[in-house]
Structure 1
C-alpha cells in the first residue's frame, strides 16, 4: 500500500502523484523482465528527466525542480518501491550533479548545469577505486597539470551507469597530500581515453549497470575542474552525505514493496482453515516489518529536514542510511519467510528484492563505515544543538 505522506505544498503532492503514475505505467510493467535480463533502462531515465524528476533538489534558475530534500527523498522512495535500479539511478545522477551545483563557478553552472538537469543527459560518479573503497583518501587516479589541461590516468571501480552515462564527476589526485591533494573534474563521456570495462555481474540490481572506468591519458580542460585544486575530497564527502540519504529513501521504498507483497500473500493464503495473517506469529512478523519501515522513513525524513534548514546532517545521514538499509535487508528476508517455499522462487518478486537490499548495506559507504561515522561523533560531541526553526517566543 502507498505510504501516507504529509507534504509541504500542493505542488509537492502533485509531484508525488506524477511519480506514482509514471512508476505504475512505465516502470512496473518492465522492472521484473529488465532485472532478469540485465537490461539498462536508458529510455526510462530520459522519460523521468523530461518529466522533471532528475533535477528535483537543484535551483530552478539552472533548470532544476527547486524542491526540498524532504520532498525529493519521497520521490526516490516512490521510485524505489517499484524499481530499485531506477531509484538508485536517479539518486546517483543527483550525486553526479552536486559538485557542479554546490562548488562550481557561476559561469560553470550557467554553462553546464541546465543541460545536466534538463533530462537528456545522465550522470555517473567516480570516487571508489579497486584498492580504495571505504578510504577515498587512498585513491591513486592522478590528474597532472599540462598547460591549460589536466591529464588523468587511473582506474575507478563500482561506477553506477558506467559505460552508459553522458558525463562523469571524477575525483583524482593532483598532489600527494592525503586529504588536500584530490580535485574534482566534470568529464564528458566521449572524451578520448575514457573507457568502460564490461559491466559487473551482480547478484542484484542487475538493471543498473555498474562498471570499472579506465582513464588513459584523458585530457581535461582546466575549466572543467570543479572547485579549487585540492578541494575534491571535501566535495566528495559532502556529496556522500546527500547520496546516503538517497540510498536510505530507496531502501525504504524497497522494504515497503516487500511488505506489501508479503501482506497480500498473507491475506490470500490459507492454512488450518483461515488466512495465514490471522495466525498471530505471522501477523506479528508483519507488524514488525511495518514498524521498521515507518521508523526508517521517519529517520530519513528527519535528516532531510536538517539538510533543508542548512544545519549539519552528516551523522544523521549516516544514521538514516544504516537504519534504512539494515531494515530493508531484514524486511525482505522476512517477506521471503512469509511466502515460504514460494518466496524462494523467482515466480514471486520478493527473492529479487532480498538480493537488491543486500547491496544497499554496502554502497555509499558500508554500514560499518556508517557506524564509524556515528561512533566518532558520539565520542567527539558533548551534546546536541537546539535550533529555533519558526521563531516565536
Structure 2
C-alpha cells in the first residue's frame, strides 16, 4: 500500500511539473519581455526549483570517458565482465594500447554500498583511482527491476557475490569497501581465509563502515535499536507495484531511505535549495548547476530487497553478530581471526554522523592474527561521511594513503621489492 501511495502521488503531481517546466521555459524565453525583469527571473527560479525537487531521477551514468596516465589521455570503456540477477561487475577498461610503457597497476575492486543510492555515488572515488589502478566496481541493480522468478537476495547472497567476483578476478586483487559493505566484505574475506582459497584479496580497505555499531553510536544506530525487526517489517517494507519488472517483490523502497537521509540534515537541504534559487535569480547558472548536479545524483534512489534489508538490520545493527562472534554465512561461522594474508586499512571521518568513530577501526580487533605490518588506520579530520570517499579531502589526503597502502601490498603480492614503509603516525597505527 505504501508503494501505491507513492506512485499515486508521483502521478498526481506530474501534470503540475509539466506545467511548471513549460512556464519556466516561457519565463526565460528571450522574446518574453518579463524574462528581463526581476519578477520574471524570480518566477522562473521558483518553477525551476519546483520541477527539480518533484522530479523522479533514474540511474545516473558514470560518465568517465577518459583518465590521465603519465601525462597522456587514456580512453575509458565500461564493460560488464560478470553478471548476477542483483549486481553486475563493471570494469573501467583503460585503453592503453597507444602508451609506450604499459602500466602494471594494481587491480582494485570497489564494493559500492547497497543502501539506497546507485553505485554512481562513488563516481569521484572511481575517478581518483583510475590513473593508478585497474578498477572494477559492483554495480547494484534496483530490486524493483528484478523479476520475482529470479529469486531472492539477502545479506548471505551479498557475501556470496563478493566471493564470486574475487574468484573471477583472480589472486592479488585489492578490495575497497565504502560504508555498508564493510561487514559483508570482511565476512567474505574471512570465509575465503578459513578455506585458504587462492583468490584471497591482497588487501582490503574499509571506509566509514559499520563493523561494530556499539562503538560511538550515531543517531542512525540509536534509531535502529529503538525498534525491533517486526516493527521495521511492518512499517517500511512494501511490494513493488505495476508496471515495474519486479512487481510483487517485497522491498525496502528507495524513497523511504531517501526520506531518512533527508530528515537527518533537513535544514542543510533546505538551505542548499534556497541557495540554488538565489543563484538562479542572480543568473549564476554555474553555481546553480553544481547544486542541481549533486541533487540529481542524491535524489536518484533504488529499492533494496526486503530480505537483504531486514537481515542487515538484524546482523549489523541489532545483534552485532560480527563483533560478537556469532555471525554465520549459510550456517558456516564467520571468523575474521582466520585472515592472515589480506592486509587491512581502515579509514574514518572525524565528523561522520552515520558511522561513528571507532566503528570501522573495530575491524582490527577482529582480525587478531594479522601481522602489524599488514594493518593501518587513518582518521581524517574535518570530514563527514560523504567526505571519506569523495571531495577535496578524499582526493588530496585520503586517496594518497589508500593508493600507497595498496601499492605496497601489491608489490609484496607480486614478489617485487618495494620501498620501505613510512613510519605510521599516531592516527595511522592500528591498535
- TM-score relative to the length of structure 1: 0.27
Higher relative contact order (CA 8 A, sep 6+): 2
Rg comparison, structure with higher value: 2
Higher helix share: 1
- TM-score relative to the length of structure 2: 0.25
